[in-house]
Structures are given as C-alpha cells and as structure tokens.
Amino acid sequence: MTAAVARPGSDFFFRRPGLLTLIFLLPPLLWIGIVYLGSLFALLLQSFYSLDEFSGLVLHEFTLSTYGHLLEYSNFAILLRTVLMAAAVTIASAILAFPIAYYAARYARGWSKALFYLAVMMPLWSSYLVKVYAWKLILAKEGIVTWVANQLYLGWLLDAVLALPTVGGPSLSISYIGTFIVFVYIWLPYMILPTQAALERVPKTLIEASADLGATPGQTFRTVILPLALPGIVAGSIFTFSLTLGDYIIPQIIGNSRPFIGSTVYALQGTAGDIPLAAAFTVVPIVIMGIYLVVARRMGAFDAL
C-alpha cells in the first residue's frame, strides 16, 4: 500500500504547513493591520496636515506647523496640566493602594479576602458616568462633604483648603482638588490589583530571613518588600497614568473647565473641526506612554501583570 491510495488533495495542507498557518492568522492580521494600525496611521497622517485659518478647511499638505502649535503657551499649558494631574493621581493612587494591597496580600484570609476583592472590584461594575455624577453631588457646595465639615465645626478648614491658590476654587467640585479626588477614586482599583499581585509573590522566607539577620521592620520594608513589590506598583502606574492622560469626561463634569488633553481633543474634533491639531494632541500621550512603557519594562513591570 502506498500513499497514492489516499484521496487526492487530502494532504494538501500537510505538505504546505505555512499556508495553513497563514489562513488561521490572516483574519487577526488583517484586523491588526487595517483596523488597528490603519486608524493609528490615519491619525498620524492627519497630524501632519494643517487647518487653513480663514476657510476652516483642512489643507492636505505635509507640514510640521500643527506640531508647532502644540508649543504655543496655551496649548503647552494643557499638556503640562494633564501630565501633572496624571502624575499626582498616580502617586496618590500608589500611596493609597499600597497599605490596602499589603493587608490583602499578607493578612486577609478566607472571607476577608473575598470581601477585599468584592470591595475593590465592585466600583468597576457600575457605570463610570453614574459614579462621576454621584461625586459631583458629594463634592458640591451644598453637598455631603461641606455638610459634614460644618457639623464637625471644620468648615473653616474646608474654606482654607479651597482658598489655596491654583488648586482651590469656589467649591470642591469646581476645583482641581475635586478633579483629582475623582480621578483617584475612579482609577484606584487598577493600582491595587497589580500591587497586591506583586506583594503576594514576595516570599515569606525572605522577610523572615531579613528579621533573623537583625533588620528592623522598617529596614525589611525598605530593602526587601518595597523593591520586590515595585514592579507591581509600576505596572499599576501604567494604568492610572495613561487613563488619566486620556480621560475627557471627568474634567468636563468636575473641575473648573480648564481643558485637559482629552477634553481638548474632543472639542477640537467636534466644535472646531480642527482634526490635525486634535491628532497632534493625541500623539503626545502616545509618545509619553511609549517612553513610560520602555522605562517600566526596564523596571520589570511586565512580569508583575
């Protein structure tokens, strides 16, 4: 008996393994190539066009002048404001998330661990918009925070905080402080989860060894736990930083109407029809996150995900 008996063509793919792979990979490749990368390239392309100031039409000629506009004072202030906010939100999230993650990783067992996961994940189950509008009411001048502060005779403290230059304002919901609080609330779970995952992987034996060798708890924390947990914190910071960089809804509802990158892009493509400048603005977070990811990779953040 030889192979000639087999039905003709049945070994077609067997003889050409490359072809089979190609057929399987083609749909995802097309998706990545056209839908995903294609839209990114279209965006990049747009950012090299410019808007004719008088007719309001997009000029389809290659120019770098749109990027030049980014460096104008008012536009640069938007970039700076957004990056500073993202950095502040990231740092605050890390500080808040660490003790929570530490407790969950080292002490929580059984039902308390389940409760922890529930508490961290639950806010993610409800609509983002509902949460933001709820915060608007909480932080309002006539809202709960002001009321509680007045009941505790701490109204003067709230007023003092709101009287701070730049970050203050007429009420919490109309100030950078309010925007900051809501950003931290919304993105905190994305910091807690990777930090907790990293802390779980710190071997107990190392901590015991550190204690046996005479290190104080503070020293153990600084030299053993923190360096080993750092990749998790950096991984979490990728989320909090990039999500804050791109968000355009929170600054529109809570805050003092000063524009962030996201809300500027939204206004530029909607109100102004200035797609080139909107595209140039969008390239900025892409570049920042590119650099950020390279640094994060060096710090081993991707092993902690």
**Of the candidates 209, 204, 259, 279, the residue with the CA atom closest to the CA atom of residue 49:** 279
Residue 240 or residue 282: which is nearer to other proteins going by CB? 282
Contact 144, 175 (CB under 8 A): no
Per-residue burial over 113-146, b if 16 or more Cβ lie within 10 Å, else e, is eeebeeebeeeeeeeeeebbeebbebbbeebebb
Residue 217 or residue 273: which is nearer to other proteins going by CB? 273
Residue 175 or residue 220: which is nearer to other proteins going by CB? 175
Q: Which residues in 262-301 contact other proteins (CB under 8 A)?
A: 264, 267, 270-274
- Structure tokens of 188? 């905190």
List 16, 113, 141, 222, residue binding other proteins (CB under 8 A): 141
- d(C-alpha 142, C-alpha 125), whole Å: 28
Q: Could you tell me the smallest distance in angstroms from the CB atom of residue 210 to other proteins?
A: 50
- d(C-alpha 224, C-alpha 201), whole Å: 12
CB burial class (10 A; 0-12, 13-18, 19+) of residue 201?
middle
Q: Does 96 bind other proteins (CB under 8 A)?
A: no
Q: Lay out the site mask for other proteins across 6-35 (x = CB under 8 A, - = otherwise).
A: ---------------------------xx-
Q: Could you tell me the smallest distance in angstroms from the CB atom of residue 186 to other proteins?
A: 18
**Of the candidates 265, 271, 258, 116, the residue with the CA atom closest to the CA atom of residue 192:** 116
Q: Lay out the site mask for other proteins across 54-83 (x = CB under 8 A, - = otherwise).
A: x-x---x-------------x--xx-----
The residue type of 29 is L
* Residues, the chain: 305
List 37, 152, 157, 226, residue binding other proteins (CB under 8 A): 37
- Structure tokens of 36? 């995903």
- Structure tokens of 236? 């979490």
List 23, 25, 42, 129, residue binding other proteins (CB under 8 A): 42
Q: Does 53 bind other proteins (CB under 8 A)?
A: yes
Interacting residues toward other proteins by CB under 8 A: 33-34, 37-38, 41-42, 45, 51, 53-54, 56, 60, 74, 77-78, 136-137, 140-143, 169-171, 173-174, 252-253, 255-259, 264, 267, 270-274
